[in-house]
Amino acid sequence: MNNDDQQLVEGLKKKDINAFEYFFNEYHKKIFGLIYKLTKNETDAQDLTQEVFLKVLEKVNTFEGRSAFSSWVYRIAVNTAFMRLRTKRNQPQLSLDSLLPQFHESGYQKQMAKDWSREVEGAILNEEFKETINAAIDKLPEKEKIVFILRDVEEISTEKVGDILGLSVPAVKSRLHRARLFLRKRLSKYFEKLQEVG
């Protein structure tokens, strides 16, 4: 554990407000982003991010420094997200947030980002492709999914992914390889259909 992490952990253990502010500023976006990628639900991601912060503060006295502090925090975030996903597995997946208009704090409705540089057909295919990728990632087995998101989406090093998940580097690489093969097969089918249509 480096000196900055050590100071942060000590500050959190002493319930120092400056340490908490630093921790929040340093980790809030990272944790929210990771949980959102796992849950695909903004409300859940907000709730679970708060839950992760509470868990870290409750459990910081148990942190022994055998791994990096950030790895320990990510591990809590991953476990918290997967616990929620397991409880929601049998519930409908439709999110009200996706059906309702989104508003800025000022009250004006947000405009959907559009890429006007492409033809309409290209934009539709682009959106369809994103949906296809997301659907394929969602179908990955849980163990491969989290490795793929941490390594290829969040771009966390293989060593740190192993640290977060308590896996050896070869185990991380093996799961990542299986995930990439699975996604390649899914996307190959998508492109084959496109060629048939074209």
82 and 120 share a domain? no
7 and 78 share a domain? yes
pLDDT single digits (tens) 108-163: 444 444 333 343 345 445 677 778 888 888 889 989 999 999 998 888 999 999 99
Residue 97 located in a structural domain = no
pLDDT single digits (tens) 97-118: 443 445 555 554 444 443 333 4
How many Å is the Cα radius of gyration of the chain? Answer: 20
126 and 191 share a domain? yes
Domain count, the chain: 2
Q: Indicate yes or no: pTM above 0.75.
A: no
CB 34 within 8 A of CB 148: no
Residue 123 located in a structural domain = yes
Rounded Cα–Cα distance for residues 112 and 102 (Å): 9
Residue 98 located in a structural domain = no
Residue 52 located in a structural domain = yes
Q: Indicate if the alpha-carbon torsion angle 98, 26, 48, 85 is positive or negative.
A: positive
pLDDT single digits (tens) 8-27: 999 999 999 999 999 999 99
* Final residue in a domain of this structure, among 88, 105, 131: 88
User: Which range marks the domain in which residue 81 is found?
Assistant: 3-88
Rounded Cα–Cα distance for residues 27 and 30 (Å): 5
> Which is more confidently placed, 105 or 82?
82
Rounded to 5 degrees, φ, ψ at 104 are -75, 170
Residue 69 located in a structural domain = yes
- State the CATH number of the domain containing residue 122: 1.10.10.10
